[in-house]
Amino acid sequence: MRDEAGDAPPSIRTRGLRKVFRTGERTVEALRGVDLEIPEPCFHAVMGASGSGKSTLLHLLAGLDRADAGEIEVGGRRVDRMSEADLTLYRRRAVGVVFQAFNLLPTLTALENAAMPGVLDGRPRAECSERAALLLRELGLGDRFDHRPDALSGGEQQRVAIARALHFSPGVLFADEPTGNLDSASSERLFELLGGIAAERRMIVLVVTHEANAAVRCAAATILRDGAVAGGFTTEGLDADDLAARAAELARPAR
């Protein structure tokens, strides 16, 4: 079951995307005209120095914040033109998001956390639990339904967050440094899992990462520099060192 926006094959396109943050006297141009095109299902990395605008870009694509200018098209729908009501449904059903900090509700079990999007959407509880149970089993958490987040490892918590994000079978999954709180072994397993999700579910999985040895598992990488796309490349034939070198070259400040 793919909902509304998800019916179209997943794709992402932005044109001239700009975002300015104003705090007191200070103005930060976080995005200064991002042009991005991911035309089909793909496991895709976004890299770049700290402050280059990676999280800001993901937030705009996921409908968590509004751009100041530019176009965003996801699955053929213009996200930048959506009303607040449409944007709420888009966030909930058409895309999934996972963060570095997992962001699970601490008082709820794994099953209840994974069922949450359906419950918030007003669907019958039994249906939501059934869907959550199916996803948790698929993600290898069949024996963890009743565990609260503090009784789960970091890798397990992140998989619950992924189950929650996949509740409505979105066409796109955004992950912002999803392995930032994991050790390197769990980190590798999580990237393998995300790659499998992109391939098997025919999704775009767009993942922000600083780790070249994780990013090599992606099919392609886009590098941001100073709020714009500095370039991109496919990872075919690259090892982690090659990828780190190419990313660093593109991320280097222009003179």
Ligand X SMILES: Nc1ncnc2c1ncn2[C@@H]1O[C@H](COP(=O)(O)OP(=O)(O)OP(=O)(O)O)[C@@H](O)[C@H]1O
| Binding of Mg ion by 55 (CB under 5 A) | yes
Name the residue nearer to ligand X (CB basis): 163 or 208: 208
| Binding of Mg ion by 209 (CB under 5 A) | no
Judged by CB under 6 A, which stretch of 45-53, 141-149, 163-171, 245-253 contacts ligand X? 45-53
Q: Can you spell out the DSSP letters for 11-76?
A: -EEEEEEEEEEEETTEEEEEEEEEEEEE-SSEEEEEE-STTSSHHHHHHHHTTSS--SEEEEEETT
| Binding of ligand X by 178 (CB under 6 A) | no
Judged by CB under 5 A, which stretch of 55-63, 83-91, 97-105, 210-218 contacts Mg ion? 55-63
| Binding of Mg ion by 52 (CB under 5 A) | no
Assign 114 to helix, strand or coil: helix
| Binding of ligand X by 151 (CB under 6 A) | no
Q: Let me know: does 208 contact 55? Beta carbons within 8 Å.
A: yes
- Cα–Cα distance, 224 to 220 (Å, whole number): 13
Site string for ligand X, 12-31 (x = CB under 6 A): ---------x-x----x-x-
Count the site residues for Mg ion by CB under 5 A.
2
User: Which of 2, 54, 159, 167 is the binder for ligand X (CB under 6 A)?
Assistant: 54
Q: Which of 164, 182, 173 is nearest to 208 (CA)?
A: 173
Encoded tokens for 93: 């059903």
Cβ density class 226-235: b for 16+ within 10 Å, e for less = bbbbbebeeb
- Cα four-point dihedral sign 178, 183, 185, 186: negative
Name the residue nearer to ligand X (CB basis): 109 or 187: 187
Name the residue nearer to ligand X (CB basis): 21 or 88: 21
What's the closest the beta carbon of residue 49 comes to Mg ion, in angstroms?
A: 10
Site string for Mg ion, 10-49 (x = CB under 5 A): ----------------------------------------
Q: Which of residues 55-94 bind ligand X (CB under 6 A)?
A: 55-56
Residue entry with tokens 């994991």: 182
User: Which of 6, 10, 41, 53 is the binder for ligand X (CB under 6 A)?
Assistant: 53
Q: How buried is residue 40: exposed, middle or buried, by Cβ count under 10 Å (0-12/13-18/19+)?
A: exposed
- According to DSSP, the residues that pair with 44 across neighbouring strands are 206, 220
Which residues contact ligand X (rule: CB under 6 A)? 21, 23, 28, 30, 48, 50-56
